[in-house]
Chain A
Amino acid sequence: MKIKNNISVSESGFVFDAKTGESYSLNPSGKEIIRLLNLGKTQEEIKEYMLARYDVPDLIVIRHLDDFFQMLSYFNLTVECHDQ
């Protein structure tokens, strides 16, 4: 999964889709995930990173991450990478 080129994310977590004109707000975790996606990390790698970083039950982290990835896809902010 990769963030599309036309999506910009500011330091504050404000997301702007230059093609559609839509904008979104990210909380710090969301911003962190987008940063990792932009670094080329896979969803699995991001899961591992978040599990290691937050003292939250695994299932909760995984569920929230899956929700978040689905939301990114639903809002058409991402493209799938075939090498993942």
Chain B
Amino acid sequence: MINKLKLTIAVSGLNNTDNPGPGIPVIRGIRDSELIDARIIGLSYENLEPGIYMSDLVDCTYMLPYPSVGMEAYMERILEIHHEDHIDLIIPNLDAELHTFIKAENILKEHNIKTYLPSLKQLEERNKGNLDTYGQKYDIKVPKNLSITSHNEIGQLDNNFTYPVLVKGKFYDAYMAYNPQEVMVAFNKVSAKWGLPVIIQQFVQGTEVNVIALGDGEGNTVAAVPMRKQYITDKGKAWSGVTLNDPELMEITHRLIKQSKWKGGMELEMIRTKNGDYYLIEINPRIPAWVYLSVGAGQNIPEALTLLAMGKEVKTMTEYEVGKMFIRYSFDLIGNLADFEKINMLRKL
């Protein structure tokens, strides 16, 4: 019988909504593990994040202030939770948290809390606004990109772009715009929600394909599974997807991780054109919300990330089942007002 590794793991991204965070599927991967016996602490920002109320998956949830409160206040809350409920590992699953957690690595280390994240340099060089430089550095085709900070720059886009273009927020959201007026509307929406800059990206015609991968920070790809979205919601989120057998896409993934020495989970978003060219449109620097498909296909990435973070050896995973699908669904959880009261008043459930 295997002695399971007993750990308390704090996981964020419990917003299992129609714009789902990766927290719940990450937890499902950990729960499926035969090597880890985890107590799961949920970290949430809103009192109605569904994961808070999923008592079969989450043992206890604490509310956090948004990272925009500043690192000091944010880490104060994390350490307060840690003193109440000892944390071995934190898996942050939201883009907006990563900067803070990476910068706080030493503070976390002092308190013996592990993370498994890319370096600040790795995080920043793949920022949407830096995609051109990233493409040149790693010899990957990328669509033309421009970061803009004001309406005045929209009039100049004609010089560098052909419509349609994508108007993207620095963390999330993307809108297609067919003329400067539509860019203006999208700019206002995106900047109001995610701040500046707003990224203008040349639209590339083709099929979007994605890869979930895990890098060990030494240049090795510990796990990688490619997927194509089969059904996309009006928010552009995958509602179902299927694993692919695409050797070129895997070669790009392995090369990128080798060259960048990426550490942690990641998602590559690529467009495959009709001519068979691949354009990198975005790198998400964390595990994506469709991670449970990789678990279902044979690569338990949350388990592997946990073991790597705890200094355990993890064998490189190269096999996965092609044609494995995920289909999301909505489900009504029945909750109690008393629980809602607790999370509101005590910031803990």
Contact = CB atoms under 8 A, between A and B. Distances in A.
Interface of A: 6, 8, 16, 18-21
Given A20-B207, A21-B228, A21-B230, A6 B245 contact: yes
B323 A18 contact: yes
A8 B323 CA distance: 10
A22 to B, nearest CB: 8
B207 A18 contact: no
A19 B248 CA distance: 10
Nearest to A18: B245
A20 B207 CA distance: 8
A8 to B, nearest CB: 8
Contacts of B207: 20
Describe B's contact surface by its main secondary structure: strand
Contacts of B227: 21
Interface of B: 207, 209, 227-228, 230, 241-242, 244-246, 272, 322-323
Contacts of A6: 245
A19 B323 contact: no
B46 to A, nearest CB: 33
A30 B275 CA distance: 27
Describe A's contact surface by its main secondary structure: loop
Max chain A C-beta neighbours (<10 A), residue from B227, B241, B246, B272: B246
A63 B207 CA distance: 31
Contacts of A8: 323
Given A8-B323, A21-B230, 8 more contacts: A6-B245, A18-B246, A18-B323, A19-B246, A20-B207, A20-B272, A21-B227, A21-B242
B246 A16 contact: no
B322 A18 contact: yes
A8 B272 CA distance: 21
A29 B177 CA distance: 44
A6 B228 CA distance: 15
A16 B323 contact: yes
Contacts of A21: 209, 227-228, 230, 241-242, 244
A44 to B, nearest CB: 29
Contact of A18 (B209, B230, B244): B244
A18 B246 CA distance: 7
A75 to B, nearest CB: 11
Contacts of B272: 20
A83 to B, nearest CB: 24
A18 B323 CA distance: 7
Contacts of A18: 244-246, 322-323
B212 to A, nearest CB: 15
A8 B241 CA distance: 18
A67 to B, nearest CB: 21
B323 A20 contact: no
Nearest to B230: A21
A82 to B, nearest CB: 20
B57 to A, nearest CB: 29
Nearest to B228: A21
11 contacts: A8-B323, A16-B323, A18-B246, A18-B323, A19-B244, A19-B245, A20-B228, A20-B244, A21-B209, A21-B227, A21-B241
Max chain A C-beta neighbours (<10 A), residue from B228, B241, B245: B245
A7 to B, nearest CB: 11
Nearest to A21: B228
B178 to A, nearest CB: 27
